[in-house]
Amino acid sequence: MTILNFPNVIPDIQDFGVKYLTQVSGTSLTQIIQTVEMPGARWHGTMQFRDLPPTQAAELKAFLLKLRGASGRFFFGDLELTAPQSSVTGTPYIQSGSTARDIIVSGHTGDFSVGDRIQIGDEADTTREYKMVVEVNSSDSLRIEPMMRRTDYVGKEVIYSNPVGVFLLDSDDHGKWSLRSKAKLSDIAFGFVEAFV
């Protein structure tokens, strides 16, 4: 399956974040609550485009139709922060000794910052994962969220400029739009979730 690149059309509003998967149970007798975190946290969001001129609307409409509902996949990353906040350079990769949540990175100079977005896996890797740095223990040791899903992450490249993950539409009903006929301006909105590949 070909994974599409998201078109160069900027939304007016973008909601983006992580949805965790937990199970909460308790008893009415003791009021003790137990919470279990399950694997499966994933990025999700929505985008709203308003007053798109015909050329941009056509590009976005064609993209949505090429996805064929939730069957298609596309590369996407949070539009808020597309480069590291500090001066990271080089070609970092994940060293051995890393875990699914705490990674050790080599091959770079400079420091990552809390909030930086990174991509695990290079441009040829169709199973790349999108992460946020939530803690910097040293210049080489980073805590990330959500945790890694793949097991072969040691040796994978860490992309820090325009990082992306693999996403899909959250519904088959997103191949539609509204149009104000006199102005010929389109409004388009859809939701998306990270794909587990």
Q: pLDDT of 133-179, one tens digit each? A: 999 998 899 999 999 988 899 999 999 999 999 999 999 988 888 88
Average pLDDT along the chain: 92
> What's the CATH number where 93 sits?
2.40.30
Extract the tokens encoding 59.
């590009």
Of 4-8, 158-162, 183-187, 191-195, the least confident: 183-187
Could you identify the residue written with the tokens 């939701």? 191
CB 75 within 8 A of CB 6: yes
Q: Do residues 120 and 98 share a domain?
A: yes
Q: How far is CA 184 from CA 56, 96, 146, in A?
A: 12, 55, 41
106 lies in the same domain as 49: no
Domain with 179, as residue range(s), is: 8-77+167-197
Q: Distances in Å between the alpha carbon of 119 and those of 6, 76, 94, 96?
A: 16, 11, 11, 18
- The domain total for the chain is 2
| 104/152 same-domain check | yes
68: in domain: yes
> Does 149 lie in the same domain as 94?
yes
Query: Is there a domain that residue 58 lies in?
Result: yes
